[in-house]
Amino acid sequence: MSIAEISSAPVYIAFADEPLAAAARQMCARGVGALVVVDTHDAQQRPIGILTDRDIVCGQVKRRTDLYCLTVGEVMTRNPLTVPADAALSEAVQAMSARGVRRAPVVDRSGALLAILTLDDLLPLIAQQLGELAGIADAQARGPPAAAAQRSA
Amino acid sequence: MKVGDLCRRHVVSISVAAPLSEAARLMCEQQVGAVIVTAAPADSPIAVGVLTDRDIVRAQLEGTADLGEIRIADVMSREPLVLTEDERLDEAVRRMRARGVRRAPVVGAGGALAGVISFDDVLSYICANLAALARLTERQSRRQDDQATYQI
């Protein structure tokens, strides 16, 4: 399964020069915990940051002002980890683990934003793989259907 | 496995009487996305709510942006799911799922706040068990390889 298939869709963006309050409002309205930040003039929408609820709160604390007086670019987390859409699942997990991030924008070969991959997307997938493995073990413990039929015959 | 065996004993908490600005500062200092809100008595506080960074942002958008002017009690999630130390972990996870929460305060027998348990704590625990299983199967397949070599 490719990263593009796993990752959450759609991904919501904010512009770096946008007022922080507008981005915060978008996050609340959409019920998402993060926006991918891009430059207003970049038609390709290459990710330059991530904005989370934490960034909004801590940006205000650090700069001693409120969200109406800040821009997204001032408080976002810069240089986000990006995951190529054709990366293997294990590569994405390892890269996210190494950087200590729960979410990463997914990009195409030119670096343009396609989607966002989150820990919450990965967990059900891994759980499903485990469930299938458990199914093999369970089936073997019960014995193959043919053998069971022979035994009972 | 009981909740008390896995929960964290260091609880990032704040009094319900504190201003929201103090809660925001605490979250940033401690690098956490949520704090447990407590009420008196001071020597054995009880959990009365959970406050997340999202609660703070939403409150600012709905009312004043001045964090010093917002009361924690008005924006926190009230009547939080409270787990007990002697509760079974699987039961605790089921209750967290039913309430749709990723973290819950943990109390001792007397009802005083004793810890906090999160989605991340449970995930780490399950993964540690899985990793131990994986090491076991690796060791066994190595042994089978060794035996195969002797047979040659």
- CATH number (domain holding residue B12): 3.10.580.10
Residue whose entry in the numeric block shows the structure tokens 């009972």: A152
Q: What is the model's pLDDT at position A8?
A: 65
Cα–Cα distance, B114 to B83 (Å, whole number): 10
> Is the per-residue pLDDT at A146 higher than 80?
no
Cα–Cα distance, A134 to A113 (Å, whole number): 36
Name the nearest CA neighbour of A99 among A121, A77, A120, A124.
Answer: A77
Q: How confident is the model at residue A145 (pLDDT cuts 50, 70, 90)?
A: low
* Alpha-carbon distances, residue B35 vs A150, B48, B118 (angstroms): 61, 11, 12
Q: How confident is the model at residue A151 (pLDDT cuts 50, 70, 90)?
A: low
Q: Are B114 and B6 in contact (CB under 8 A)?
A: no
What residue ranges define each of the domains in chain A, with the CATH number in brackets?
A: 3-152 (3.10.580.10)
| Domain span holding position B78 | 3-117
- The tens digit of pLDDT for each residue in A61-75 reads 999 999 999 999 999
Cα–Cα distance, B109 to A42 (Å, whole number): 58
Residues of chain B scoring pLDDT < 50: none
Q: What is the model's pLDDT at position B144?
A: 79
Query: Where is pLDDT greater, at A137 or B59?
Result: B59
ipTM for this prediction: 0.86
Mean pLDDT rounded to a whole number for chain A: 91
Mutation for A interface: B35, B52, B54, B93, most A CBs within 10 A: B54
Cα–Cα distance, B117 to A58 (Å, whole number): 23
Residue B107 lies in a domain: yes
Residue B140 lies in a domain: no
- C-alpha of B120 from chain center: 7
How many structural domains comprise chain B? Answer: 1
Name the nearest CA neighbour of A30 among A7, A58, A4, A11.
Answer: A11
**Window B:70-109, CB contacts with A under 8 Å:** none
Structure tokens at A4: 């593009």
User: DSSP label at B18?
Assistant: S
List the single residue in A33, A58, A123 with the smallest CB-CB distance to B54.
A33
End-to-end CA distance of chain A: 43
For residues A72-88, average pLDDT: 96
- Any chain B CB within 8 A of the CB of A120? no
Closest chain B residue to the Cα of A56, Cα to Cα: B57
A66 and B25 within 8 Å at the Cβ level: the answer is: no
Residue B14 lies in a domain: yes
Q: How confident is the model at residue A148 (pLDDT cuts 50, 70, 90)?
A: low
Name the nearest CA neighbour of A16 among A90, A67, A72.
Answer: A72
Residue B131 lies in a domain: no
Residue whose entry in the numeric block shows the structure tokens 């604390």: A61
Q: What is the model's pLDDT at position A16?
A: 97
Residue B127 lies in a domain: no
User: DSSP label at B11?
Assistant: -
Give the containing element (helix H, strand E) for A152.
Answer: helix A145-152
What is the count of residue pairs from A and B with beta carbons less than 8 Å apart? 51
For residues A51-70, average pLDDT: 97
B52 and A61 within 8 Å at the Cβ level: the answer is: no
Mutation for A interface: B27, B56, B57, B64, most A CBs within 10 A: B57
- The tens digit of pLDDT for each residue in A1-38 reads 778 778 866 899 999 999 999 999 999 999 999 999 99
> Is the per-residue pLDDT at A152 higher than 60?
no
Q: What is the model's pLDDT at position B17?
A: 94
